[in-house]
């Protein structure tokens, strides 16, 4: 389908780019991306993917907007307090770009629903805030062969890596098992500088767009870390781990499971 005049104008700064052009923009318009988590990371991811004209955006999050979210979750506004985050996010996405189809999933991802959910998308972006979800997303994407972007933030530091299952380092290649419960404080306990998810989430959205376009060099096999206090980025090459429990030579994980002992997320700890 040819671009309309208004699409030509909306996406003109993309179309001008040699790496995008009209064909690349059409690819984005025909793409489907699932964002898991409509919080700090999910906010810039959703806003930029919407603006970029990703044709279908899925967002999964069971939570509702809380006053304490607004310091960093820039897709939610003060009048949205109490509203389901996926609804608040959908309203902003549609206000930015009516070209985008939004599918909302007002639920936490779990072993029971994640395989079916990710199967409908070309790329998955992890914008969650807890280890249970991060390991679940990695396992599901590796088992399904679904490329995804991992992102994590705490206090002033963040990290991100792009996982191409079977080709590049996965999250469990680096961290075979989750840390013991309570070993790592959550955002609500330890705090997080509000602009941090803006930096990491924007990088994750960039990776999604590059993957869909098939252009550039992805952050695969390299973990990027960012320290906002020191204002330093580090790019650490990490090879695949032959002993990885899910993508190694003798995988012990062959289906998704919930890390029940880890299900303490920031928002469940609120009094």
Partner 1 sequence: MTTIDLRGVSCPTNFVKAKLALEELETGDRVEILLDDGEAVKNVPRSLKGEGHKLLGLRETAEGHYLLEVEKGEE
Instruction: Summarize as ranges the residues that interact with partner 1 (CB under 8 A).
Output: 3, 8-9, 12, 15-16, 18, 21-23
- DSSP code at position 112: T
Q: 23 vs 270, which CB is nearer to partner 1? A: 23
Q: 24 vs 158, which CB is nearer to partner 1? A: 24
Q: 4 vs 71, which CB is nearer to partner 1? A: 4
Q: Rounded to an integer, what distance in angstroms lies between the CA atom of residue 125 and that of residue 36? A: 6
Provide the minimum distance between the beta carbon of 47 and partner 1 in the complex, in angstroms, as a whole number.
23
Q: 8 vs 112, which CB is nearer to partner 1? A: 8
Q: 11 vs 171, which CB is nearer to partner 1? A: 11
Residue with tokens 């602009």: 195
Q: 6 vs 120, which CB is nearer to partner 1? A: 6
Q: 2 vs 67, which CB is nearer to partner 1? A: 2
Provide the minimum distance between the beta carbon of 5 and partner 1 in the complex, in angstroms, as a whole number.
9
Provide the minimum distance between the beta carbon of 51 and partner 1 in the complex, in angstroms, as a whole number.
17
Q: Rounded to an integer, what distance in angstroms lies between the CA atom of residue 234 and that of residue 224? A: 6
Provide the minimum distance between the beta carbon of 214 and partner 1 in the complex, in angstroms, as a whole number.
13
Q: 35 vs 52, which CB is nearer to partner 1? A: 52
Q: Rounded to an integer, what distance in angstroms lies between the CA atom of residue 161 and that of residue 187? A: 20
Q: Rounded to an integer, what distance in angstroms lies between the CA atom of residue 206 and that of residue 195? A: 17
Q: Strands (DSSP E) along the chain, which ranges?
A: 32-36, 56-60, 101-105, 123-126, 148-154, 157-163, 222-227, 232-237
DSSP H/E element including 140: helix 131-144
Provide the minimum distance between the beta carbon of 1 and partner 1 in the complex, in angstroms, as a whole number.
13
Dump the DSSP string for 14-55. Answer: HHTSTTTHHHHHHHHHT-EEEEE--STTHHHHHHHHHHHT-S
Provide the minimum distance between the beta carbon of 29 and partner 1 in the complex, in angstroms, as a whole number.
14
Provide the minimum distance between the beta carbon of 212 and partner 1 in the complex, in angstroms, as a whole number.
18
Provide the minimum distance between the beta carbon of 30 and partner 1 in the complex, in angstroms, as a whole number.
16
Query: Hey, CA dihedral for 27, 28, 30, 31, is it positive or negative?
Result: positive
Q: Rounded to an integer, what distance in angstroms lies between the CA atom of residue 161 and that of residue 157? A: 14
DSSP H/E element including 11: none
Q: Rounded to an integer, what distance in angstroms lies between the CA atom of residue 238 and that of residue 104? A: 34
**Coil/strand/helix, residue 63:** coil
């Amino acid at each position: 389908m040819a671009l309309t005049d208004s699409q030509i104008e909306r996406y003109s700064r993309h179309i001008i780019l040699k790496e995008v052009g009209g064909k690349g923009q059409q690819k984005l318009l025909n793409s489907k991306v699932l964002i898991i988590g409509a919080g700090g990371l999910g906010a810039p991811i959703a806003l930029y993917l919407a603006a970029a004209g990703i044709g279908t955006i899925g967002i999964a999050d069971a939570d509702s907007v809380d006053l304490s979210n607004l310091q960093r979750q820039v897709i939610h506004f003060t009048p949205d307090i109490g509203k389901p985050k996926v609804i608040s996010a959908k309203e902003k996405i549609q206000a930015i770009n009516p070209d985008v189809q939004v599918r909302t999933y007002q639920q936490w991802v779990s072993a029971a629903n994640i395989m079916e959910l990710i199967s409908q998308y070309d790329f998955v972006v992890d914008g969650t805030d807890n280890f249970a979800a991060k390991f679940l997303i990695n396992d599901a994407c590796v088992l399904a062969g679904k490329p995804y972007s991992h992102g994590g933030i705490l206090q002033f530091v963040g990290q991100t890596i792009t996982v191409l299952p079977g080709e590049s380092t996965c999250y469990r290649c680096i961290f075979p098992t989750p840390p013991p419960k309570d070993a790592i404080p959550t955002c609500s306990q330890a705090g997080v500088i509000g602009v941090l998810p803006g930096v990491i989430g924007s990088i994750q959205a960039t990776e999604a767009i590059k993957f869909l376009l098939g252009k550039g060099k992805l952050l695969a096999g390299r973990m990027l870390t960012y320290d906002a206090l020191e204002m330093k980025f580090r790019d650490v090459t990490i090879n695949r781990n032959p002993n990885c429990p899910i993508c190694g030579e003798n995988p012990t994980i062959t289906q998704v499971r919930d890390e029940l002992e880890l299900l303490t997320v920031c928002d469940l700890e609120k009094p």
